[in-house]
């Protein structure tokens, strides 16, 4: 099972988490997030196995493309109202695209017709986008039939792994706020527990 740690910022914490070699590490460029890295952030060297992910909410595509070179990420996670045109433009630049979908009911997953590289299913909570720290009803995904693999997100921690692994179509687990001692700082004891259970 692939796994991702998201919402990183502190350089010492990045280095310490990177030592566990997650498959993906996420950095948030959404100014309203408590995990926002800031416009000038440059991602430090990561293990060869770990892909850097830039996380955005309705950011203009040209800004994402420019940042991908300046900050150093190859994967983009889109949490806003982005559509197929944005996805195609990013993929044309050799970026891998993860499209987040906020989920509360079966209707949120039925009839998905975008073609990103991956979906990411996250918890729908009012107007909040990402980082809710809350699980949604995973039984909604038991009928998932699309060929597009997905990341599961929303309040995941080490205790979520066993149950999540049973879901069809699951590609990766995405850990964020439930690992934190404060915004953007991940607790290494929890990270280690993930590596032992993933």
Ligand X SMILES: O=C(O)c1ccccc1N[C@@H]1O[C@H](COP(=O)(O)O)[C@@H](O)[C@H]1O
Contact residues toward ligand X (CB under 6 A) are: 6-7, 26, 28, 30, 33-35, 55, 57, 79, 120, 122, 129-133, 153-156, 174, 176-178
Closer residue to ligand X in complex, CB, 43/92: 43
Of residues 192, 193, 194, 153, the one with CA closest to residue 171: 153
Minimum CB–partner distance for residue 161 and ligand X (Å): 13
CB 109 within 8 A of CB 146: no
Closer residue to ligand X in complex, CB, 92/100: 100
Minimum CB–partner distance for residue 76 and ligand X (Å): 12
Minimum CB–partner distance for residue 175 and ligand X (Å): 6
Instruction: Collect all residues with Cβ–Cβ distance below 8 Å to 105 and sequence separation of at least 6.
Output: 140
For the record, the structure tokens of 55 come out as 């996380």
Minimum CB–partner distance for residue 56 and ligand X (Å): 8
Minimum CB–partner distance for residue 47 and ligand X (Å): 19
What 3-state class would DSSP assign to 160?
helix
Q: Is 130 left (phi over 0), alpha (psi -120 to 50) or beta?
A: left
* Cα separations in angstroms, 45 against 14, 23, 33: 10, 14, 23
Closer residue to ligand X in complex, CB, 33/115: 33
Closer residue to ligand X in complex, CB, 78/92: 78
Closer residue to ligand X in complex, CB, 92/128: 128
Q: Residue holding tokens 């010492």?
A: 12
**Torsion angle defined by CA atoms of residues 139, 143, 146 and 152, in that order, rounded to the nearest 10 degrees:** 10
């Amino acid at each position: 099972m692939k796994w991702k740690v998201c919402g990183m910022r502190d350089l010492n914490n990045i280095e310490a988490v990177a030592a566990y070699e997650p498959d993906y590490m996420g950095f948030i460029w959404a100014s309203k997030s408590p995990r926002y890295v800031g416009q000038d952030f440059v991602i430090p060297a990561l293990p060869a196995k770990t892909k850097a992910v830039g996380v955005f909410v309705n950011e203009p595509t040209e800004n994402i493309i420019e940042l991908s070179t300046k900050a150093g990420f190859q994967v983009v996670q889109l949490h806003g109202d982005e559509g197929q045109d944005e996805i195609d433009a990013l993929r044309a630049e050799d970026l891998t695209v993860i499209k987040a979908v906020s989920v509360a009911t079966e209707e949120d997953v039925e009839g998905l017709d975008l073609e990103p590289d991956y979906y990411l299913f996250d918890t729908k909570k009012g107007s909040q986008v990402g980082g809710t720290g809350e699980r949604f009803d995973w039984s909604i995904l038991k009928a998932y039939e699309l060929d597009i693999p997905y990341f599961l997100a929303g309040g995941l921690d080490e205790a979520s792994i066993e149950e999540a692994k049973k879901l069809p179509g699951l590609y990766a687990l995405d850990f964020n706020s439930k690992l934190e001692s404060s915004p953007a700082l991940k607790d290494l004891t929890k990270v280690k527990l993930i590596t032992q259970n993933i």
